Structure 1
Amino acid sequence: MAHIPYPPSYYAASANPAPLRDELQADIQADVCIVGAGYTGLSSALFLLEQGFSVAIVEAARVGFGASGRNGGQIVNSYSRDIDVIERSVGARHAQLFGEMAFEGGRIIRERVARYNIACDLKDGGVFAALGAKQMGHLEAQKRLRERYGHQQLELLDRVRIRDVVGSDHYVGGLLDLSGGHIHPLNLALGEAAAVESLGGRIFEQSPATRIERGANPVVHTARGKVRAKFVIVAGNAYLGNLVPELAAKSMPCGTQVIATEPLDEALARSLLPQDYCVEDCNYLLDYYRLSADNRLIFGGGVVYGARDPANIEAIIRPKLLKVFPQLAKVKVEFAWTGNFLLTLSRLPQVGRLGDTVYYSQGCSGHGVTYTHLAGKILAEALRGQAERFDAFASLPHYPFPGGRALGAPLTALGAWYYTLRDKLGV
C-alpha cells in the first residue's frame, strides 16, 4: 500500500531517527494484537511484554502518527473532568480508585523514560493559569480536592507569584503542579516503540486493520495479513474510523491546532517562561503553551468539532498567543499543524470489553498524554485477570451523541460557544 508519512509539524521535523517498519504481509499469531501504535497501544504493549505476553501491533500509518505525535506535549494529571465530577456518579470505593489513579500516568511516563533511556526532552512543572477570580476559586478548590487524594506537589500562585513563572500580565494567579511537566511527544512514542521491540514485541506500520473477527479466538485482518490472538486491544482513538461501529457512535473526533515559533534567543525565552514550566489556562476551550528544547514557543488551542483541518492555522492561534505575549508580535511562526483527539459526551474516557476477548480504551477528550499511559497499565491488568481498576473505568456511563456525529458536531460546538461566553464574562 502507499506509504503514509508523518504530517508536517515541528515534532516530525525534530524527531529522533526511527526505522520504517514493515507492513504486515503474513498470517501471524500473538497472545495480544493491539490496533494502533499511539500511547494507549504502546503503553499496553510494554506492560504486557513485561509480564510475559507476546504482542503484535498493527498501525495504519506510523508510530505516533495521530494525537500521540502531535499534541501539546504537556504532562497534566487527572482527567478531562476532575475527580469531584466522578465522585458524584460512582460509589465511594470507585471514587477512591479514580482519585488514586489520577496522578499515576505522569509517574508511568517518567518511569518509562528512565528505564528505557528515552530521549524526549522531559522537563518538570506545569501551571494552570487563572484569568479571573472565578477561575482562581476553582483552582483553590481543585488543590484541596487533589490533596485529599494524597497529591501534595501543588502550590497556589497569587498575582505576584505567577509573574515569577509566566512573563505576562494576562493572569490573576494560578496553580503550580510540580509533578506535571512536558515532553517532545513524538519522541516519547518513538522511544516507547523501540522499547516494545527490545522486549520482543512486533510493530507493523502502514497496516490499517480492516476487520476484527470477534469470538473466543479473535482475528485482526489487514489488507495483506492477519493476526490470530487470544485478546485484542482496540487503541485507535480519533483515528479508528468505523472499524468498531459501536465505539464510533459514542465518540467524536475533534481537531486542535498548534503552532511553533522560530527559535527565540535565550533571554527572550527565559523572560516568557523563567522556570521553563508548561502552562494551560482555565477556560473551557483552553490555550496551552511551553518552550521546546531549542527555545521555540509551542502554543496551541481552539477546537474544530468533527476534525476538519482549518485552512489557516496560524490565523486562528497567533491572536491567542499575542494576547498572552504581545512582545512576540514580530516573531515568525515556522510550523503550524493540527491533530485530532477523541471527545466523549461526558468528557470521561470510555473503557470496556466487546465480548470476552476484545478490549478497548478511547475518548481521552483532550487529556490523553497521562491517561493513555495509565490506560495501558489497567488494560494489561485486566488481561491478567486483575480487573478492579479496569472495571471502575468500565462502570462509567457511555453516552451516544444526540443525532450521531452529523448532528453532534454542531450541537457540541454550540455548547462550547456557551461555555466560552461564560469564560469571557467571568460567570
Structure 2
Amino acid sequence: MRDAYLVGAAQTDYGAFPHESYRSLFATAFEDAVASVDGEFDRAAVDEAYVGTLGVGGRQLGLSGPAVTEYVGLDGASCTRVENACAASGTALRQATLAIRAGAADVAIAGGFEVMTDMSGDQTRYWLGVSGETEWERMAGTTFAGVYAQMADAHMADHGTTREHLSRVAAKNHANGANNPHAHLGFECSLDDAMNAPSVAEPLNLYDCCPTSDGASVAILASREAAEELTDTPIRVAGAGQASSRVGLFQRPTLTGIPATTDAAEQAYDEAGIDPADVDFAEVHDCFSIAELMAYEDLGFCEKGEAGPFIESGATEPDGDIPVNLSGGLKSKGHPIGATGGGQAVEVFKQLRGEAGDRQVAGLGRGLAHNVGGSGGAVTVHVFEEGWA
C-alpha cells in the first residue's frame, strides 16, 4: 500500500460573508492551498477530487462538487460530492487518502464548503437538524444543542463534570482563536464570562456552543513519487480511520461518549502504529464544549470520566502535554459544516510545518484531526506525521 502525503492545505476566513458565494469561497481556499505547495503545481495533474458539503440552504444540491471544481479549472479530474453531515470534509480527506493508497490517483483534492449565514434562524436550525435522527429527535423538536445538553447532563451526573470544566473549554479555545486570523469569533473570553453566559439548553450556555459560519477548506494530497516533486516539507497521512454509529442519541449504548470516535481512533492509531500518548497535539470536534471533553476520553488522551480534571490540569493548553484546538476549534474558529474537517487538517498542516504564526507551538511532530458528523453518527480520525516514511 502506498503512502499519502499532505502537500498543500488552506482555508478561507470563517464568518459571515454576504458578498461571497460557495464557488468563490472554494476558489479562495483552493488557490491558497496551491500557493502553499512548495513546488510547481499543475492542476491538470489532479486525478480525483472529493468535496464535502451538507448543502445548507438547498443551493446546488445536485452536482455541487463539479460546480466548484470546474470553477477552479479542475475540468479533467473526477469529482465526487461527499455528504456526511459535519464530518463531510473529514470523510472527503479519507477518500482522497484511500484513492492514493490504492493507486487510483497520484494527486487528489479533498475540500469542503458551506454557506450558512444567509438564512433565518429557523431555517438554519432546520438544516442543522437534518443531520440528527429525523423522526424521533428533530421532528419531536430536539435541537442539536438539546442533544448535546443531554450528553452534558449525563456526563455531569456520572463523572462529576462541572460547569467550570465546560467553560474552561470555551475560555481555552477563544484564547487560541484570538491568535487565528481566520477565526469567526476571534476574541478572548474570560472563564467568568463563559460560566455566566445566557442559557441555550441547560446545562449548555451561549459560550458552550459554536457559531454557524460560511467558509471553505482545501487539502492537496499526493503519492510519495508525486509528493517528492511538490514539497520539501512532507506531511504523511499515517493513519486514516472512519466509523459510523447510531444516528439517534436515544439508540446509543452510552450518553457520555461517542462510540464511533473510539472506533475511528483505534483504526487510525493502528495504521500509524502509535498509541494515544504518542500524539503531540490535536484538533478535535468541539461543536459544543461537552463534545471536546468527551473527545479527550474517546480518543484515549485520558481515562473515561477524567476529562474534567484533565482540562483543569492544563494538559490541553498550548504549553500542556497535548495542546488541543490550537486553531480555536469550532467554538472560536467557526463551523461551516462541509469545510470543518478540512479546516482541521489545515491547522495540523501549518503546525507541523511551523507556519501557524502567533499560535505556533514548537517541537510538534505528530498531529491528530477528529471530525464528527451530527451527534456522533459518523466520525473520522486522521493522524499526520512530519517527514517521509
TM-score grouping bracket, smaller chain normalisation: under 0.3
Structure with higher Rg: it is 1
**TM-score of the superposed pair, with normalisation by structure 2:** 0.26
Q: Which has the higher contact order (CA 8 A, sep 6+)?
A: 2
TM-score, normalised to structure 1, is 0.24
* More strand, by proportion: 1
